Amino acid sequence: MVTVRAPATSANLGSGFDVFGLALARPADVVHVEKADETTITVEGIGSQYVPEDPRKNTVGAVAEALDAPASITIDKGVRPSSGLGSSAASAAGAAVALDALYGRETDPEELVRIAAKGEAVVSGEAHADNVAPAILGGFTIATPEGITSMETSLSLVACLPDIVVSTRDARAVVPSELSLDDLVGTVGAAATLTAGVARNDPELVGRGMADGVVTPTRAALIDGYDAVHAAATAAGATGVTVSGAGPAVLAVCQDGTTEAVASAMIDAFAEQGVDSHAYQTIVGQGAEVFV
Ligand X SMILES: N[C@@H](CCOP(=O)(O)O)C(=O)O
Ligand Y SMILES: Nc1ncnc2c1ncn2[C@@H]1O[C@H](COP(=O)(O)OP(=O)(O)O)[C@@H](O)[C@H]1O
Q: Is 166 helix (H, G, I), strand (E, B) or coil?
A: coil
User: Residue ranges of the alpha helices (H) in the chain?
Assistant: 59-66, 87-102, 109-124, 132-137, 168-173, 181-199, 203-209, 216-220, 226-235, 259-272
C-beta of 22: minimal distance to ligand Y in Å? 14
Gyration radius (Cα) of the chain, Å: 18
**Region from 84-92, 145-153, 272-280, 283-291 binding ligand Y, contact rule CB under 6 A:** 84-92
124 binds ligand Y (CB under 6 A): yes
Q: Is 117 helix (H, G, I), strand (E, B) or coil?
A: helix
Of residues 171 and 253, the one with the C-beta less far from ligand Y: 171
**Which phi and psi angles does 187 have, rounded to 5°?**
-70, -45
C-beta of 91: minimal distance to ligand Y in Å? 3
Among 172, 186, 255, 260, binds ligand X (CB under 6 A): 172
Among 50, 154, 179, 292, binds ligand Y (CB under 6 A): 50
12 touches, from ligand Y, ligand X, none (C-beta below 5 to 8 Å by class): ligand X
12 binds ligand Y (CB under 6 A): no
Among 2, 24, 75, 288, binds ligand Y (CB under 6 A): 75
Q: What is the rounded distance in angstroms from the CA atom of residue 148 to the CA atom of residue 216? A: 23
Handedness of CA 96, 101, 103, 104 (dihedral sign): positive
Show Cβ contacts of residue 50 under 8 Å, excluding neighbours closer than 6 positions. 81, 82
87 binds ligand Y (CB under 6 A): yes
Among 72, 107, 149, 167, binds ligand Y (CB under 6 A): 167
150 binds ligand Y (CB under 6 A): no
Helix or strand run (H / E) with residue 149: strand 147-151
Of residues 149 and 167, the one with the C-beta less far from ligand Y: 167
187 is catalytic: no
Residues 196-255 contacting ligand X, CB under 6 A: 245-246
DSSP codes joined into one string, 176-234: -S---HHHHHHHHHHHHHHHHHHHTT-HHHHHHHT--SSSHHHHHTTSTTHHHHHHHHH
153 binds ligand Y (CB under 6 A): no
29 close to 90: Cβ distance less than 8 angstroms: yes
Among 168, 259, 277, 281, binds ligand X (CB under 6 A): 168
Q: What share of the chain is helix, strand, coil (3-state, %, to 5)?
A: 40, 25, 35
DSSP 49: G
Which residue in 39, 59, 168, 195 is the catalytic one? 168
14 binds ligand X (CB under 6 A): no
* Length of the chain in terms of residues written: 292
120 is catalytic: yes
128 binds ligand X (CB under 6 A): yes
Known binding-site residue numbers for ATP = 80-90
Residues 220-259 contacting ligand Y, CB under 6 A: 245-246
Sheet holding 277-283, edge to edge: 238-243, 250-254, 156-162, 277-283
**Region from 53-61, 102-110, 143-151, 223-231 binding ligand Y, contact rule CB under 6 A:** 53-61
Site for ligand Y, rule CB under 6 A: 50-52, 58-60, 75, 81-89, 91, 123-124, 167-168, 245-246
Site for ligand X, rule CB under 6 A: 11-12, 18, 84-86, 128, 130-131, 168, 171-172, 245-246
- Catalytic residue numbers, as ranges: 120, 168
